[in-house]
Homo-oligomer: A and B are copies of this chain.
Amino acid sequence: MCQLLGMNANTPTDVMFSFTGLATRADEHKDGFGIAFFEDKGVRLFVDPESARASPVAELVRRYPIKSGNVIAHIRKATQGQVALQNTHPFVRELWGRYWVFAHNGDLKGFNPRLHASFRPVGDTDSERAFCWLMQELAKAHAAVPSIDELTRTLAELLPLPAAHGTFNCLLSNGQALWAHCSTQLHWLQRAHPFGAARLADEDLSVDFGALTTPGDRVALVATQPLTAGEDWVAFGTGELRVFVDGQPR
Contact = CB atoms under 8 A, between A and B. Distances in A.
Contact of A44 (B39, B85, B117): B85
Interface stretch (A92-100, A158-166, A202-210, A223-231): A92-100
A56 to B, nearest CB: 5
A245 B77 CA distance: 34
A60 B60 CA distance: 8
A41 interface: yes
A42 B98 CA distance: 21
Contact of A120 (B44, B86, B94, B120): B94
Contacts of A63: 56
A57 B64 contact: yes
A49 to B, nearest CB: 8
Contacts of A88: 42
B120 A43 contact: no
A42 B84 contact: yes
A40 B47 CA distance: 14
Question: Across chains A and B, which 4 residue pairs bring their CB atoms closest together, nearest first?
Answer: A42-B85, A42-B86, A118-B118, A97-B120
6 contacts: A42-B49, A42-B84, A92-B92, A97-B121, A97-B122, A118-B118
Interface of A: 39-49, 56-57, 60, 63-64, 84-88, 92-99, 117-123, 139
